[in-house]
Amino acid sequence: MARKGLNTNCIVEAAAELIAERGFDQFSLQELADRLGVKKASLYNHIDSLSELTAHIGRLVFERMAEQLYSGAETNSPAEQLYHIAMGYRKFAKENAELYKTIVKMPASGSPDLIEKGQEIVHSLYPVLEACGLSEQEVIHFSRTMRGAMHGFITLEEAGFFGNAADVDESYFYMVKSLIQPLRDKDGERS
């Protein structure tokens, strides 16, 4: 019989906390059970497998990320929306470093609903890019370019490759501005 109060949501939240603290590679179901004060077997009353739990964690993290990216991004300027999203992306990755690393690995998991959740975040960029006057193909190319640049920057920053020759926040801003400026020009906006 399941412990009163133990449910899938509290298991997922506790698992996400553990991953945030220790990283996915150090995560174990036994440690999760210990944290929740239950036997490991009790977890299986609510989840079928580690794979299912990982998918739940991924959905939770993608939801939190989307909230960070799009909260307060409402503006009349598509370029300003992109700037806000880019800043939110880095902020999320820095504040949730281990969870960010976890979701970056998740498309390889093959979970269709998890891949779909990640794609929802990407596809929510599309109307913003279309408002900048990009064609359907340009939207895809720009989206990939922007995500690749942001992820690459964050990965290099996390690994300590940037030293102290220039302020890292300014470098990120410079990168984002360099990506977005051609869209401002295309749309007739000037900053």
Residue 107 is predicted with a pLDDT of: 60
- CB contact at 8 A, 79 and 187: yes
Q: Give the C-alpha separation, 40 to 33, whole Å.
A: 5
Residue 5: the pLDDT is 79
What's the rounded Cα separation, in Å, for the pair 150 and 56? 25
Domain with CATH 1.10.357.10 in the chain: 62-187
Return the number of other C-beta atoms located less than 10 Å from residue 90's C-beta: 22
Region(s) of the chain under CATH 1.10.10.60? 1-47
**Would you say 111 and 35 are in contact if contact means Cβ atoms under 8 Å apart?**
no
Dihedral through CA 12, CA 39, CA 106, CA 93, nearest 10? 50
Write out the chain's pLDDT in tens, 191 residues.
345 679 999 999 999 999 999 998 899 999 999 999 999 999 999 999 888 898 889 889 999 998 888 877 677 788 888 999 999 999 999 999 999 988 887 666 667 777 788 888 888 889 989 998 999 999 999 999 999 999 999 999 999 999 888 999 999 999 999 999 988 776 554 34
Hey, how many other C-beta atoms are within 10 angstroms of the C-beta on 9? 11
For residues 85 and 77, the answer to whether their CB atoms sit within 8 Å is no
CATH of region 1-47: 1.10.10.60
Neighbours of 100 (CB within 10 A): 21
pLDDT confidence of residue 119: 85
Q: Given 1.20.1440.230, 3.40.50.450, 1.20.210.10, 1.10.357.10, which CATH number is that of 62-187?
A: 1.10.357.10
At 80, list the tokens. Answer: 């300003």
Q: What residue type is assigned to position 14 of the chain?
A: A
Global pTM value? 0.84
d(CA 8, CA 183): 43
